[in-house]
Amino acid sequence: MMSSVKQKYERRMEPVVVGDPSAAGTSKMVRAYGDTTGDGMVQLSFTLPLPHDKRAEGAALQLAKKMGMEPAMLVHAKAMGSGFTFFVVYGAVSHVVDLRQVKVVEREFPLLSSKEVNTGIRDTLKRRLVVVGACIGTDAHTVGIDAILNIKGFAGEKGLEYYSEIKVVNLGAQVLVPELVARAQAEQADAVLVSQVVTQKDAHLHNVTQMSAAFREAYPAGRVPLLVIGGPRFEDDAAERLGVDRIFGRGTTPSEVASYLVHAVQTKGARKRPAKKG
């Protein structure tokens, strides 16, 4: 006799009509994969404000079930301090993804070699391109912005400091927006690169919106430097909403950013620089 969990599990599997995702183009409908193709198995982690006991474990399973996991299996529970428990739940969901409805923001510029970047900047600007970078607000996660700016770079690529035609001013962590604006003006920055990693209470969205507004206020129209933001949890298509020119996400490499900067100055033209301050 089958256990009730096994029965439920197999019922879930029956109506699945999906192609083999490894055979490109055979199916537009995809379900999560756990143990067998199309079984819909997903893993979910969360914390409940409850001390770790049987009641808390039952509450975690109830939550997972209400979210559509059926059956839901508790695979990990750990007390986080006195009144909180962290859970990992594994189970099947019936949801099917329609690949035709997935929107992807494609890279709108070609990837250039460092030589092409330097030539592109020299030919367009007739001078070095100035980049001012910072991690703003209370955010102290500088590894990401350093990966892009510092000469040591990231993923086997050298950072923007390596490019002879780019001048990099890296202000580091916890930079206040007024400080960033003032330094960008003093350096006559062509581009301002801002990193935001902490997303608690949407801090990244608030900080970036405040930053872009401050630049628009401080500069005459049409003279605002390129505003480029990056971090692991921005939505790809949020640039306009946040008042910035471009967003870079997880896994970005320095050459992508350098190539974008060339593309941006070539397509938008060199921004007229305001009088040097400071």
Residues 147-166 that bind ligand B12 (CB under 6 A): 147-148, 154
Binding mask 76-95 for ligand B12 (x = CB under 6 A): --------------------
Asked if 228 touches ligand B12 (CB under 6 A), the answer is yes
Binding segment for ligand B12 (CB under 6 A), chosen from 58-66, 93-101, 114-122, 249-257, is: 249-257
The smaller minimum CB distance to ligand B12, of residues 125 and 226, is found at 226
Considering beta carbons, is residue 89 or 92 the nearer one to ligand B12? 89
- CA angle (136, 227, 101) in 5-degree steps: 100
The catalytic position among 78, 115, 152, 268 is 152
Bond from prior residue into 71 cis (ω within 30 degrees of 0): yes
**Rounded CA separation 153/178 (Å):** 28
Residue 253: name the closest of 179, 142, 160, 133 by CA: 160
**Residue 169 CA: distances (Å) to CA of 87, 160, 260:** 43, 10, 18
Q: Compute the radius of gyration of the chain from its Cα atoms.
A: 24
| From candidates 42, 159, 248, 262, binder to ligand B12 by CB under 6 A | 248
Does 68 contact ligand B12 by CB under 6 A? no
Residue 200 found at the interface with ligand B12 (CB under 6 A): yes
Ramachandran bin of 187, using left for φ above 0, alpha for ψ from -120 to 50, beta for the remaining angles: alpha
* 272 in catalytic set: no
CA–CA–CA angle 194, 273, 168 (5° rounding):
40
Which tokens belong to 3? 């256990």
Q: Determine the interface stretch with ligand B12 among 32-40, 104-112, 243-251, 270-278 (rule: CB under 6 A).
A: 243-251
* Binding of ligand B12 by 252 (CB under 6 A): yes
Q: In the bound complex, what is the minimum distance in angstroms from residue 225's beta carbon to ligand B12?
A: 12
Contacts with ligand B12 by CB under 6 A: the residue count is 29
Q: Decide if 160 contacts 218 (C-beta within 8 A).
A: no
Whether the CB-CB separation of 165 and 118 falls below 8 Å is answered with yes
Which one among 5, 17, 140, 151 touches ligand B12, defined by CB under 6 A?
140
CB of 201 to ligand B12, least distance (A): 9
Distance, in Å, from the CA atom of 102 to the CA atom of 99, rounded to the nearest integer, reads 5
Positions that interact with ligand B12 (CB under 6 A): 138-145, 147-148, 154, 193-195, 197-200, 228-232, 248-252, 257
Catalytic residues: 152
